[in-house]
Amino acid sequence: MNGHTNPRTAALLSVSDVHVAYGKVEAVRAVSLDVADNEIVTIVGANGAGKSTLLNAIMGILPLKGTAAFAGQDIAPLDIEDRVAAGLSLVPEHRELFATMNVEDNLQLGAFRIAKSKAAAAFERVYHLFPRLKERRKQLAGTLSGGEQQMLAMGRALMGTPKLLMLDEPSLGLAPIIVADIFRIIGELRANGVSVLLVEQNARAALEIADRAYVMELGEFILSGPAREIAANARVAASYLGFQHEGASGI
Ligand code: ATP
């Protein structure tokens, strides 16, 4: 496993030999990963593999050992606020919306770091991506459907105009038709110049949309490569796609 970097464009996010521990227990070990501009990268793995832990460490919610650079800047010494200001954003697995505030006010919270003059354009962009949020802008977040809450969590993260959006299990608990919608929007983000680092139990959907993928087991990356190749890998197909892939290649 090597930290593949396109020599023409330095990676937007580049983490190298990263370890994250809960006390004495290392949940992430010696992980290296890159995300380039305009790239969707997915991390596939079973429950408890360490995927959320890695995203949280990149965001600065958990401390990491190793190196982490974003847009050419060493982010290891930065707190969460400064990482957001640098262009990183995380939509956490449990969405963490303010249930008793309406859609617009939740979005407004995501805009507090950007100039007031730019907030209107940010609202415009988010409402364009998620017309449903515009329709429901005065509705309390706690009364939205699961899919709408996921859209709101993504919209709030996008209000800060990140360069890289990290999504932790965006399809969790959602009906298939909503999942398709969320994945379509993830594709639109890439088309709009936002890179995406996607952690997802729905490996099939994630590998379909991603450019590249990493497979995580017990805190380590065991495989990486173009998403199409990872999806065709026999072990990945058997473990994460729920079938023996015809003509699939071994690791
Ligand atoms: P899931 O999809 O279930 O969230 P994951 O791949 O994201 O899985 P993590 O949540 O990162 O996995 O968990 C990695 C390991 O760290 C697991 O063994 C988990 O039990 C452990 N772990 C997670 N959070 C904590 C915590 N707050 N304290 C101690 N151990 C934790």
Pocket of ligand 1 contains residue 51 by CB under 6 Å: yes
Reduced to 3 states (helix: H, G, I; strand: E, B; else coil), residue 172 is: coil
For the chain, list the strands marked E by DSSP. 13-22, 25-35, 40-45, 65-70, 73-74, 88-91, 164-168, 195-199, 212-217, 220-226
Pocket of ligand 1 contains residue 27 by CB under 6 Å: yes
Pocket of ligand 1 contains residue 49 by CB under 6 Å: yes
Pocket of ligand 1 contains residue 31 by CB under 6 Å: no
Say how far apart CA 54 and CA 14 lie, in whole Å. Answer: 13
Please check whether residue 167 is in contact with residue 199, taking contact to mean a CB–CB distance below 8 angstroms. yes
Pocket-testing residue among 22, 29, 201, 216, ligand 1, by greatest number of atoms within 8 A of Cβ:
22
**Whole-structure pTM value:** 0.90
pLDDT by position in tens, the chain (length 251) = 444 444 445 799 999 999 999 999 999 999 999 999 999 999 999 989 999 999 999 999 999 999 999 999 999 999 998 999 999 999 988 778 888 889 999 999 887 777 777 888 899 999 999 999 999 999 999 999 899 999 999 999 999 899 999 999 999 888 888 889 899 999 999 998 999 999 998 899 999 999 999 999 999 999 999 999 999 998 888 888 875 444 444 44
For residue 171, report the phi and psi dihedrals to the nearest 5 degrees.
-95, 0
